[in-house]
Structure 1
């Protein structure tokens, strides 16, 4: 058994404003919205492309939505899925499900039918809230799942006039879709449902330490999506840690840009839940677009900008960036992928604010480490563990805590760590041992207590902030009739950090080209998982026992990339 006592040199790096231990309120996550609606009812909570809503307005809509869900039979602990882009409806649905006593299941709107079906079947969700654009996918899989009710909403539903009148025409032009659901006793209109629902839901008693608030799905190294069980206490703890780490901000007066998707646990915690708990304002964007983001920062005077490195890269390289005033930005929280030093320096120069990198994983709600905003930030470091967060580098040689600078597996223990994987006791037992979360990430701690990641979970690709697991792509490729062997790897990409490349060996006598495989993958995978490059080979490098040497292919690509970079500089 691992030692219970570990050294914590990182605490010596803490400024006086950040305590080593925090007090966490023992109340359900949705209570923060209810309290704010009562105490600061007219304070603005969100802006959505010009549509403003106060804490009271959002809470009242969430309460009505909760009552509607209970009218559909939702009971405490039942799962309800949200398949929405960032909109007021996603905030209302999230807190409404919690107010009804339900468990939120966040679902990526980019999922194709196969991915959606797996998640709905695995979670047992009986209700889903979705955008009209993805409604056809929901209907296609509904009969294969436990779904009893589908609630449909549109982007235009919470747009101000005249944008709400114009948007349907823009949507049809851009997508070619004009979805008209057949509303009936099992298919409901979101807006009408809320208007017709009682003003208050039936009260539900929640134990924050035991009761789940969220099933957040994450891929596994085997490609199988797993539901991470996060309690109210987990999410309250991580949001509290985030707020206290940003000790130098004007609490309650910040303007947070929410371009990171709420269906991703990172955007959910550091964007939506942060704003509600801190009683600050969130500026919601349905997707990241450089022009729209620059306009939002300038017009809304955004002060906090959580993002992924690709977002900052996109803004830095926008040809019109100098036409915008970005001086309101004070704090940028970067996660989901390593932050290049050049990007950090350029963005800080552009805005005058601080851009720091952190680290986390879905299993930890998600943040565990962060660099100091107003203090030492060693190059390449993921920063310091957050308050109440124990971190150990486990030596592969001794099975005990490693010495400083020694590389080993990163283990985490803290109030934000999950309860386990939904209906997967064996995988839970492998990942959670003696109170420690075994991350599978390899890293080290320096003598001052700053941490560094040297290698990510085996085989995982991080492209544009999305976690992509090669086996899932490979399984799809293997289903193509012409493919004999396939392997997917992450290769360097100047914008996405990494991108997916597939190496293919075709069956004897069969033919297929890049266009055919690309079309096939797009029919089976979310767009961000689809390989951007394909290379056809006679054979793949393998070990003596026939295992494909994935790392050999990665090294080839790194060598090519390094050669191209060198020649570009000549």
Structure 2
């Protein structure tokens, strides 16, 4: 392909930062092989930091290998066995994750905050007989019920205090022992194996030959906010390719002496790839928090001097709103923050810049793409409000929502993706696979356009699109306008049935503490920012807005709330 044709097909290449090539060679070696190689290269370096307790790369490798051996000998894990992991961010998670892969198994991630009903669907659908979890009572009791319901046969249970440095371990065992499950009294105690005892056996796993392109590494469930979760099948090559793409895009950002903060949960695809796989496979330290608390995060920066923060907009918003007068000093080590998981409002971007000098780059991805598709440059500024450029080796296009023809530059359409990171398909779901792909391209459900320089801009999701009097109304445009009002802290816009217009936008608002505004005042404020069709029919004020389990504002609960309220009135 000559340069003229390539620019026409891939206009983003001309906008790539210096030193990055689109057609770079993509590394598809299985991730567990890469992390064990990194461990062997520098075994004394610190791999994991959890609450001040550290794990070296050498120790990490020994535990991964020993755990893989125990999985094979005690539980019969082999190539293709599905093993569920239900753990918060602790050192146990990467050991379990890489151990399962080394044994030949397939990781099935489970969110510890899911209900037993949701967990039952995932484990039963995947056929995961073994579940690795924690002895914190609020988590263990769900695992216990899964065994009792027959969805899981056996449990490997990690002892939470073992993750802590010695002083904290002693204090926790004394002061917080009521938070720990009493495993010996569990009705499923004969189905439980202790994680540390399996490691202590120091068994050597047998070799497993992996075909990176055919063998599945992770079965990641997605779509729970809009329907029954589907298991996206991510091959070893899919995951490794996305790591390689991100590595190239980072221009050395994820190499020592960098330290990457993992406050996003590893069971989420964004954190699994960007917070764990990419840095650890490069021999870079990962600094963990089990959950997000602003003070704990700021203290972590002050203690570790970490410099890379993958985040979601709600986390960045909390930093932007923080009233700590010393926050800039505490965040002084932060060089790059990467926002993903949801759209980043410009208001949050602007307020974050007042608290930190770090480059704030917005990225975009989805579970089915392992997950990253596009990202703003991580070393130099990108176009404002853009999600950046397609990663190396990634092709994208926008197609007309109605006729599926390729949209022209600047015209809105549904984003479609093609690249080595795109999943092999959904597990046992031919109907969903048929809907997910169009002429070999992955349909994302996201609406936007590309400009003449190849920068990508998203306006909304096709499922969130509001058809109002025959016109397309994008909730994100309304949400962005609302965020510019000084009293608005968060907002979420949904479409509701309307007898005259078919659908109409309704805005839910959470106000900042100490601020007040009426719906009439807000509509006057929006008058020169939105057209008449985009103007919300109603503005509803709430003390809190529902979020998904990784912090995205959720429309599903708002639609249910609106329907329930209307039903009561009728």
TM-score relative to the length of structure 2: 0.79
Structure 2 gaps, min length 5: 466-474, 480-491, 495-504, 513-543
Aligned to 2:501: none
Structure 1 contact 407–444 (Cα < 8 Å) conserved: yes
**How far, CA to CA, are the matches of 1:14 and 1:288 in structure 2?**
33
Structure 1 contact 28–208 (Cα < 8 Å) conserved: yes
**How far, CA to CA, are the matches of 1:366 and 1:293 in structure 2?**
25
How far apart are 1:446 and its partner, in Å?
1.3
Structure 2 contact 67–99 (Cα < 8 Å) conserved: yes
Aligned to 1:34: 36
Aligned to 2:17: 15
**How far, CA to CA, are the matches of 1:541 and 1:11 in structure 2?**
55
**How far, CA to CA, are the matches of 1:40 and 1:241 in structure 2?**
23
Which sits farther off after the overlay, 527-536 or 125-134?
A: 527-536
Q: Deviations over 1:482-508 (max 9, x none)?
A: xxxxxx99845579xxxxxxxxxxxxx
Matched, 1:111 2:93: no
Aligned to 1:393: 398
Matched, 1:90 2:93: yes
Structure 2 contact 254–284 (Cα < 8 Å) conserved: no
Structure 2 contact 233–425 (Cα < 8 Å) conserved: yes
Aligned to 2:486: none
Task: Describe the shift of the 1:167–1:409 C-alpha distance in structure 2 as closer, same or farther (beyond 3 A).
Answer: same
Task: Describe the shift of the 1:181–1:245 C-alpha distance in structure 2 as closer, same or farther (beyond 3 A).
Answer: same
**How far, CA to CA, are the matches of 1:494 and 1:170 in structure 2?**
38
Task: Describe the shift of the 1:25–1:326 C-alpha distance in structure 2 as closer, same or farther (beyond 3 A).
Answer: same
The residue correspondences of 1:129-208 to structure 2 (distance < 5 A) are 129-132=132-135, 133=137, 134-169=139-174, 171=176, 177-182=179-184, 184-198=189-203, 200-208=204-212
Q: Deviations over 1:220-260 (max 9, x none)?
A: 57511011100111111111111211115372221000001
Aligned to 1:480: none
The residue correspondences of 1:195-274 to structure 2 (distance < 5 A) are 195-198=200-203, 200-219=204-223, 222-247=226-251, 249=253, 251-274=255-278
Structure 2 contact 147–154 (Cα < 8 Å) conserved: no
Structure 2 contact 254–278 (Cα < 8 Å) conserved: no
Structure 2 contact 88–265 (Cα < 8 Å) conserved: yes
Q: C-alpha root-mean-square deviation of aligned residues, in Å?
A: 3.2
How far apart are 1:539 and its partner, in Å?
4.2
Matched, 1:370 2:372: no
Matched, 1:361 2:366: yes
Structure 1 gaps, min length 5: 471-487, 496-517, 543-570
Q: Any idea what SS the aligned residue of 2:243 has?
A: helix
2:450 to 422, 445, 448: 445
Aligned to 2:497: none
Structure 1 contact 360–369 (Cα < 8 Å) conserved: yes
Q: How many residues align?
A: 489
Structure 1 contact 45–280 (Cα < 8 Å) conserved: yes
Q: Deviations over 1:492-534 (max 9, x none)?
A: 5579xxxxxxxxxxxxxxxxxxxxxx9xx99xx9999795895
Aligned to 1:549: none
Q: Any idea what SS the aligned residue of 1:162 has?
A: helix
How far apart are 1:141 and its partner, in Å?
2.3
Task: Describe the shift of the 1:412–1:156 C-alpha distance in structure 2 as closer, same or farther (beyond 3 A).
Answer: same
**How far, CA to CA, are the matches of 1:404 and 1:540 in structure 2?**
47
Structure 2 contact 247–254 (Cα < 8 Å) conserved: no
Task: Describe the shift of the 1:493–1:358 C-alpha distance in structure 2 as closer, same or farther (beyond 3 A).
Answer: farther
The residue correspondences of 1:502-521 to structure 2 (distance < 5 A) are none
How far apart are 1:169 and its partner, in Å?
4.9
How far apart are 1:538 and its partner, in Å?
4.9
Q: Deviations over 1:378-408 (max 9, x none)?
A: 2221111111110010123553211111111
Task: Describe the shift of the 1:219–1:538 C-alpha distance in structure 2 as closer, same or farther (beyond 3 A).
Answer: closer
**How far, CA to CA, are the matches of 1:313 and 1:81 in structure 2?**
32
Q: Any idea what SS the aligned residue of 1:42 has?
A: coil
Aligned to 1:58: 60
Matched, 1:277 2:285: no
Q: Deviations over 1:439-459 (max 9, x none)?
A: 111111112111111111414
**How far, CA to CA, are the matches of 2:508 and 2:96 in structure 1?**
38
2:345 to 340, 349, 352: 340
Q: Any idea what SS the aligned residue of 1:229 has?
A: strand
Matched, 1:122 2:94: no
The residue correspondences of 1:292-371 to structure 2 (distance < 5 A) are 292-320=296-324, 322=326, 324-371=329-376
Q: Deviations over 1:163-216 (max 9, x none)?
A: 0122245546xxx64411137552011112211241x21111111111111011
**How far, CA to CA, are the matches of 2:569 and 2:31 in structure 1?**
50
Q: Any idea what SS the aligned residue of 1:179 has?
A: coil
The residue correspondences of 1:480-495 to structure 2 (distance < 5 A) are 491-493=508-510
Aligned to 1:69: 71
**How far, CA to CA, are the matches of 1:158 and 1:45 in structure 2?**
14
